[in-house]
Amino acid sequence: METAVFRLEGVTKRYGDLVALDNATMEAGSNEYISFLGPSGSGKTTLLRVIAGFEAPETGRVIFEGRDITNLPAHERGIGFVFQNFALFPHLSVIANVGFGLRYGKSPQPEAEIDRRAHEMIDLVGLKGLEDRGVDQISGGQRQRVALARTLAMQPRLVLLDEPLGALDANLRGRMRTELRAIRERLGVTFLHVTGSENEALAMGDRVVVLDRGRIIQTGRATEIYDSPNSPDVAHFLNRFNLFDGTFRAGYFEGPFGRIPAPGARRADRDVYAIRYDRMRAVAPGSAVQGPALKATWIASEYLGSAIVNFFETDGGRVVEMEQHLSLGAPQTFEPRQDCLLTWNPEQAIVFGREAA
């Protein structure tokens, strides 16, 4: 990240008693793909709306290309926005939608230029031949492309995407993901992408920003966040970790699996033991295991194509997941209600503790 194209400084936004954004500070470089991850109500959409200028923050500043744009109206910002519901202009054709900003925007272009750029954008998103269709005469995926083309035609340096793939079916979503990345790389624009799906966030973002209750709780590269979430909440949102409550004291974590050494514990507001689904191993009960051992019974499994997820229930009644990648060989199979012993390499666990350094 050589030059910061965009910066948020201590932005706070309230709706009545509800704090939608709490002192949010972040930065985005040029030509960067940042995805925002967080549960619904975490303030992701509000964050985008504040950046776009649809909402005004109570405090804090929004800086874009070196300018303070906190008080600049949306239409003077030059920031693109792609809506979840696409928000196409229903009374206009595809080409008129794409050319709308060029025609009526800040610097109106000559008709020939509008036509040329609109066609160029339509080609870019692969909608050639649909130019004169009404926007209610095309499919969901095509509408998504129109929305994108309409935004990109303005050549913004920053594009905000609010769950742009949320309204599409799974198949289309996968294809659009790849295309979105490819289009962005070709144009060299910065994308801020809000998503409710942790897979999408991790797969698409160069960097991932995790939000919870209006606060930015972690920012980092996808692999960083994935390998070392900095709080139990982040680990929870990633939906990749089994989380156990317990007590961390003097370098040891005591949980339902016994008392095991936890040397590299991180400081957090509560004691939580996190171990990734794909680090779990299941062995026969009574096997001699070193380290953690958790008695559990097998309930069900789910086939994901490249991996298989097994669900176990512990004595305490909580569900523990174990993911096995099929590339690592044939997966284990289990009988219903089969008793197992779950274990893992404690060095691969992430431990959070109030007493940690």
Residues found near other proteins in the complex (CB under 8 A): 52-56, 61, 67-68, 70-81, 83, 85, 87-93, 95-96, 99-101, 103-106, 111, 115, 131-132, 134, 147, 150-151, 154
Q: Which is nearer to other proteins, 91 or 259 (CB)?
A: 91
Judge whether 59 and 8 are in contact, CB under 8 Å: no
Nearer to other proteins, 101 or 141 (CB): 101
Q: Parallel, antiparallel, or unpaired for β 252-255 and 247-249?
A: antiparallel
* Dihedrals phi, psi of 219, to nearest 5 degrees: -135, 135
The 3-state DSSP composition of the chain as helix, strand, coil percent (nearest 5) reads: 30, 35, 35
**Pick from 127, 190, 140: which is nearest to 1 by CA?**
190
For the CB of residue 14, give the shortest distance to other proteins in the complex, in Å: 12
Cα gap 67→57, rounded to integer Å: 16
Closest to other proteins by CB, 4 or 154: 154
Name which of 277, 284, 269 is nearest 240 in CA terms: 277
Tell me the HSE value of 133 on the side-chain side, using a 13 A CA sphere.
Answer: 14
Q: Provide, rounded to whole angstroms, the least separation between the CB of residue 164 and other proteins.
A: 12
The identity of residue 179, as a single letter, is E
Measured between alpha carbons, how far apart are the two ends of the chain, in Å? 30
Q: Which CB atom, from 47 or from 272, has the smaller least distance to other proteins?
A: 47
- The smaller minimum CB distance to other proteins, of residues 134 and 331, is found at 134
* Minimum distance from residue 54 beta carbon to other proteins (Å): 5
In whole angstroms, the minimum distance from the beta carbon of 214 to other proteins comes to 18
**Min separation Cβ 85 and other proteins, Å:** 6
| CA distances from residue 316 to 76, 212, 245, 265, 275 in whole angstroms, order as listed | 57, 28, 12, 24, 18
Indicate the residue among 75 and 221 with the shorter CB distance to other proteins. 75
H helices present in 256-347, as ranges: none
Read off φ and ψ for residue 183, nearest 5 degrees: -60, -45
Kindly state the smallest distance separating residue 133's Cβ from other proteins, in Å: 10
Of 99 and 141, nearer to other proteins (C-beta) is 99
Neighbours of 303 (CB within 10 A): 10
Least Å distance between CB 151 and other proteins?
Answer: 7
Q: How far is the CB of 31 from other proteins (least distance, A)?
A: 20
Q: Which is nearer to other proteins, 76 or 227 (CB)?
A: 76
Q: How far apart are CA 331 and CA 306, in angstroms?
A: 11
